Structure 1
Amino acid sequence: MRRVLLSTAIALWGSTILADDQALLLGVERYANLDRVNGAADLADAESGLKAVGFDVKTQINGAGADMSRRLTAFVGDLGGAERVIVGMSGAFVTDGGRTWLLPVDATDPILFGLVGAVSLESVMRTMAATPGQSLLVLGADRSANDRYGPYMRDGIGTLDIPNGLTVITATADGAAELLQDLAEPGADVMALVRANSRLSAQGFVPDSLVLVPEDVTPVVAPAVPEPTENERAAETALWEGAQALDTADAYRNYLRRYPNGIYVEQADALILEITTQPNRAERLAEDALDLSRDARRDIQRDLALLNFDPRGIDGIFGPGSRAAVTNWQQENGFSQTSYLTLEQINQLDAQAARRAAELEAEAERARAEKEQLDRAFWAETGAQGDEPGLRAYLARFPDGSFASQATEQLSVIEEGKRQAAAAEDKTAWDNATEANTEASYRTYLQVFPAGAFVAEAEARIAALNAPAPANDAAIAAEDALGLDGITLRLIEARLSQLGLEPGKVDGGLDEDSRRAIRNFQEDRDLSVTGYIDEQTIVRLLADGFQALGRN
């Protein structure tokens, strides 16, 4: 789109002076929440031509509701005594069937009683009716009234109740822009232009001929604009920097009023659009100013997860999952639901997470104490007796219990003793079965030696072979996906050791002792018991660790 503005006064010469002629150009192309209307902003290309033939032109491109309202107010205020009036409007229109509105750039899906900032075509036509026979309304809309917005509103231009003497031309957005440029030519006949273009249609007052710019008018060639002086550039830059410091739509509009052809016009337009259409912009900028590191963002995600607001990953990147979690947390805590955090909110979130971590650790400690009490009591009744049935009963109930290693060692001694005392044939059959180490080999042994020395061991090994795997492929994959490095693995083992879960040597190796400690940790905290690290396990481990270190 070309945006051509004349800032110098226009002095007309020729045989006719068009005094007090008024024109208004409203085009909205880049909607924040609706589809783009290609070519709607090209209405501005007609501005210089209309000015050159004496029209006082007011133009608003991609305006928010407040911008278009101010432009319309200024236009209506200057209409008194106007001999000719031209209005061009292009963009997204909606109708309830009897009334039609042009939507501003910040419009959302329209509803009948929610058209904030929209421009009523009926109101515009009533103001133009004061100049019958010399008033032209050009409407550019690319879509017909088909798509519905609820039961009462639909897209497009509805049936217009056009006042007497007003000519209304409807066209596509680019067709409207071309027509407005063509009719600024001296002697141009609006009706002839309509008849020559099938994309244009006329309603209302439709005479055989309508010429709004007499043929004997001489268009003014705008004088060359002198380059601004160094002081003028400095003044403009100072005003622009002041607008940036305030960072409000009004500040940028003030700059545009003072420098409509200035250096920073495009930036000002873009920022006004961003401010008027982007939700929670101020809150986003305030969070950006905190300059949160990736580690700080991970801490926030971990806090949210501890409080059951799932951020969909603890990676230090605030994507849709994290923003949704923040929004839900804000709602529960009485804050505005912006999805962006303030320092006060971060501190409150951190305090809540620390308190929750302490509560969870206390619950885990109670569960561990209860489990240890049951463990010791069961051992006293079974394995402490030192016989094979008791030891096996204990291991079946507490495979990772406090006395599991002791029970396993004692069973090994018992088995070795039985092996030494067994008959040679029985011993040989058992050695063959253990070498194969299959369910079939142990069942063959049981069939041949139903009263053999190794019957209990054979039955135990068959049960072990049929027992579910301690961890499935999904648990292994979940741990692998975390990409835990050696330092983190050693921290995990150190924390397990600090909790008295005996993970073995703290070397980052995660051997069977470590896996048993992880299973106990998970069981105590009512987590999925796999012996492998997943996201919830590491959140709890780190949270417990922060609590133990006195995090505040």
Structure 2
Amino acid sequence: MTALARTIALVLATVPGLALAETDVFMVEGRPVSFIERFGAGSGLRAAEDPLLAQGAEVALVTRASQDELRAALAGFMSDIDEATDRVAVVLSGRFVHSATETYLLAPESDISDFAGAVTEGLALSAVTGLLAEYPGRAVLMLGTLDGAQVEGMRSGIGETDWPQGVTVISGRAQDVAELASDHLPRPGRALLPEARRAGLSVAGYAPEGFVFLPERGAQAPAPSREPQDTQPSADDRLWQSVSDRDEITAYRDYLAAFPQGRHASEARSRIAAIEADPFRDARRAEESLGLSREARREVQRDLELLGFDPRGIDGIFGQGTRAAIRRWQEASGQDVTSYLDGPQVARLGAEASRRAAELQEEAQRRQAELEREDRAYWQRTGEGGGPGELRAYLERYPDGLYADIARDRLDRFEAEARERAESRDREAWQAAQNGNTVASYRDYLATFPQGAFAGQAQARIAELGRSTEDRQARAQVEAEEARLGLNRGARRIAEDRLRVLQFNPGKVDGKFDKRTRSAIRRYQETRQLRVTGYLDQQTVVRLLAESLIR
């Protein structure tokens, strides 16, 4: 499989209700967004792909591509557009630079640094606008900008452009453009420009306030006719327009009562049957009327997770996992079980989550105080004045304890002293055992020196190695789980800083998860009664966020 095949998703389809017309969407994503960044950011253009496909659109999504792959993907997309294409959208998200006459998109993986490189290797915006100009009134260009583009001889961002007549242009931060593309571009009948302005995006070019990219379901392209048209709608049509706007069973029945054999009678009966077959239609429409943004949906998912109803991801997409979690919450709280939320339920869910977050923090503080009291008491009984055996016992019980660093330092000194006291042969045997570093090598040492100066260390290493296979498997599993969160350097610094604020001493806040950071995560998880691994997972991140908001 080529790199291009790995990075482009292409689906061909026909938009329902557009009478053989096709809708084409080309999207370029500049970089992935990590799970922890979703505390306050969008999760990218990939979330727009499935909703667009569900509407029958032809979608080309390019992520993390080279400059050649990016141009090849655009060329392929352009070659697939033909006379059957009715409307086109291009969404470009990434690093832009511009000269006095042209704007260029730099591929996510490119290292272009000078004017010549940008001109020869960058994707010129004019190539895209030239394509869109062929679809006046039916084309939209969405440009999401990321920081970090530094090219000698050019300026960062999108330059002044004479947009083609009839092309709607929406631009702004990549995060906001991605949310508009995923939340509103795939929605039939949704006016894009009011939503864009509410999100703080700029609008240019062809910008009628009611511009809609996808028509309402069931809308038919006007068929050519040789017959003269009556410019005045009939009473039948006027009533149908009214009841269609209401879109309720009672309205359709009113129409049938007035026009049982009317022009729209068959459609009215079909819509009644569809409504009756959907028991949760009103609940779904109530949720849709809320117009929840992507971040608002992520907040709902975090609230559900905090209350113990796992939504199977914090991504702002209400899929099967989230719907199941909503059902379980509704059932547990004695509400109508629909899997959809209305305004009062969203407010109630948020209030319950806030109360639960405060309760969990109080519980965690009590548990932390109790664990530290037990830690100090055990240290006083064993390690504080004890020898190597007592120190090892303390570390076995409290590997991340309050006195773990002191215990390890003392053990190091005891071992150094033992080396000084040990006979030469004992010392050589211990060195050989360490060089082998296997259960067998340490047992050989103990067989020769059962009371040797390093017998305690040998027994401890045997116990540790005996657990290593199982430990390695468990560690690989939690490492993979953390990796799936997609944490970049900045996201790791956020996690470290929140551990620091909560007084778990993760060490330097630098985005590097070292031993001290892992220890801080383990202690945080233990005090919060989470799975203790030393690695971040969805539950741990949600709790960190909730406690940060409380503080």
TM range (shorter): 0.5 to 0.7
Counterpart check, 1:522 vs 2:525: yes
Residue correspondence of structure 1 range 53-92 to structure 2 within 5 A: none
Match of 1:542 in 2: 545
Amino acid at match of 1:427: R
DSSP-derived class of the 1:335 partner: coil
Match of 2:492 in 1: 489
* Contact 1:326–1:340, Cα closer than 8 Å, also in 2: yes
Amino acid at match of 1:231: Q
Aligned in 2, Cα 1:509/1:236: closer, same or farther, shift over 3 Å? farther
DSSP-derived class of the 1:479 partner: helix
Match of 1:278 in 2: 278
Larger mean Cα displacement after TM superposition, 408-417 or 243-252: 243-252
Match of 2:251 in 1: 251
* Aligned equivalents of 1:250, 1:374: Cα separation in 2: 68
* Aligned equivalents of 1:343, 1:406: Cα separation in 2: 55
Aligned in 2, Cα 1:290/1:388: closer, same or farther, shift over 3 Å? same
Match of 2:55 in 1: none
Aligned in 2, Cα 1:496/1:251: closer, same or farther, shift over 3 Å? same
Counterpart check, 1:469 vs 2:471: yes
Larger mean Cα displacement after TM superposition, 335-344 or 345-354: 335-344
Match of 1:65 in 2: none
Match of 1:383 in 2: 383
* Contact 1:395–1:404, Cα closer than 8 Å, also in 2: yes
Larger mean Cα displacement after TM superposition, 463-472 or 242-251: 463-472
Match of 1:239 in 2: 239
Aligned in 2, Cα 1:518/1:266: closer, same or farther, shift over 3 Å? farther
Larger mean Cα displacement after TM superposition, 318-327 or 439-448: 318-327
Match of 1:366 in 2: 366
* Aligned equivalents of 2:442, 2:276: Cα separation in 1: 78
DSSP-derived class of the 1:407 partner: helix
* Aligned equivalents of 2:248, 2:454: Cα separation in 1: 86
* Aligned equivalents of 1:258, 1:526: Cα separation in 2: 66
The alignment covers a number of residue pairs equal to 323
* Aligned equivalents of 1:447, 1:437: Cα separation in 2: 16
Residue correspondence of structure 1 range 85-234 to structure 2 within 5 A: 228-232=229-233
Aligned in 2, Cα 1:452/1:336: closer, same or farther, shift over 3 Å? closer
Q: Deviation of residue 230 (structure 1)?
A: 0.4
* Aligned equivalents of 2:410, 2:328: Cα separation in 1: 55
* Aligned equivalents of 1:337, 1:295: Cα separation in 2: 24
* Contact 1:236–1:259, Cα closer than 8 Å, also in 2: no
Match of 1:417 in 2: 417
Amino acid at match of 1:246: R
Q: Deviation of residue 244 (structure 1)?
A: 2.8
Match of 1:339 in 2: 339
Q: Deviation of residue 347 (structure 1)?
A: 0.9
Bigger Rg, structure 1 or 2: 1
Q: Deviation of residue 350 (structure 1)?
A: 0.7
Aligned in 2, Cα 1:479/1:265: closer, same or farther, shift over 3 Å? farther
* Contact 1:386–1:410, Cα closer than 8 Å, also in 2: no
* Aligned equivalents of 2:390, 2:330: Cα separation in 1: 55
Aligned in 2, Cα 1:463/1:226: closer, same or farther, shift over 3 Å? closer
Amino acid at match of 2:501: Q
| C-alpha distance after superposition, 1:332-385 (max 9, x if no partner) | 334322221111111111110111111111111111111101111111222221
TM-score, normalised to structure 1, is 0.54
* Contact 1:323–1:339, Cα closer than 8 Å, also in 2: yes
* Aligned equivalents of 1:473, 1:523: Cα separation in 2: 20
Uncovered stretches (5+) of structure 2, i.e. residues with no partner: 1-225
Amino acid at match of 2:530: L
- Give the superposed CA RMSD: 2.7
* Contact 2:442–2:462, Cα closer than 8 Å, also in 1: yes
Q: Deviation of residue 249 (structure 1)?
A: 2.4
Q: Deviation of residue 258 (structure 1)?
A: 4.4
* Aligned equivalents of 1:268, 1:428: Cα separation in 2: 93
1:512 to 508, 511, 515: 515
* Aligned equivalents of 2:259, 2:231: Cα separation in 1: 17
Match of 2:440 in 1: 440
DSSP-derived class of the 1:383 partner: coil
Amino acid at match of 1:357: A
Bigger RCO of structures 1 and 2 (CA < 8 A, at least 6 apart) = 2
Amino acid at match of 1:230: T
Q: Deviation of residue 288 (structure 1)?
A: 0.7
Larger mean Cα displacement after TM superposition, 347-356 or 337-346: 337-346
Counterpart check, 1:320 vs 2:320: yes
* Aligned equivalents of 1:327, 1:391: Cα separation in 2: 51
Match of 2:217 in 1: none
Q: Deviation of residue 520 (structure 1)?
A: 1.5
TM-score, normalised to structure 2, is 0.54
* Contact 2:236–2:262, Cα closer than 8 Å, also in 1: no
Q: Deviation of residue 435 (structure 1)?
A: 1.6
Amino acid at match of 1:311: P
| C-alpha distance after superposition, 1:213-264 (max 9, x if no partner) | xxxxxxxxxxxx985520236x6654343223322223234445449564x6
* Aligned equivalents of 1:320, 1:512: Cα separation in 2: 38
DSSP-derived class of the 2:429 partner: helix
DSSP-derived class of the 1:526 partner: coil
* Aligned equivalents of 1:508, 1:298: Cα separation in 2: 24
Q: Deviation of residue 324 (structure 1)?
A: 2.7
* Aligned equivalents of 1:418, 1:382: Cα separation in 2: 20
Amino acid at match of 2:231: E
* Aligned equivalents of 1:387, 1:250: Cα separation in 2: 85
* Aligned equivalents of 1:393, 1:248: Cα separation in 2: 72
* Contact 2:259–2:265, Cα closer than 8 Å, also in 1: no
Larger mean Cα displacement after TM superposition, 279-288 or 498-507: 498-507
Question: Aligned residues: percent identity?
Answer: 47
| C-alpha distance after superposition, 1:384-417 (max 9, x if no partner) | 2163233222112211101111211121122122
Larger mean Cα displacement after TM superposition, 415-424 or 347-356: 415-424
* Aligned equivalents of 2:238, 2:548: Cα separation in 1: 53
Counterpart check, 1:427 vs 2:430: no
Q: Deviation of residue 472 (structure 1)?
A: 4.0
| C-alpha distance after superposition, 1:1-59 (max 9, x if no partner) | xxxxxxxxxxxxxxxxxxxxxxxxxxxxxxxxxxxxxxxxxxxxxxxxxxxxxxxxxxx
DSSP-derived class of the 1:331 partner: helix
Q: Deviation of residue 436 (structure 1)?
A: 1.5
Aligned in 2, Cα 1:398/1:248: closer, same or farther, shift over 3 Å? same
* Aligned equivalents of 1:371, 1:274: Cα separation in 2: 59
* Aligned equivalents of 1:375, 1:417: Cα separation in 2: 27
Uncovered stretches (5+) of structure 1, i.e. residues with no partner: 1-224
* Aligned equivalents of 1:402, 1:291: Cα separation in 2: 49
* Aligned equivalents of 1:397, 1:333: Cα separation in 2: 41
DSSP-derived class of the 1:482 partner: coil
DSSP-derived class of the 1:506 partner: coil
Aligned in 2, Cα 1:532/1:277: closer, same or farther, shift over 3 Å? same
* Aligned equivalents of 1:286, 1:254: Cα separation in 2: 23
| C-alpha distance after superposition, 1:494-541 (max 9, x if no partner) | 222222222222233222222222222222222222222233222322
* Aligned equivalents of 1:307, 1:335: Cα separation in 2: 16
Q: Deviation of residue 284 (structure 1)?
A: 0.9
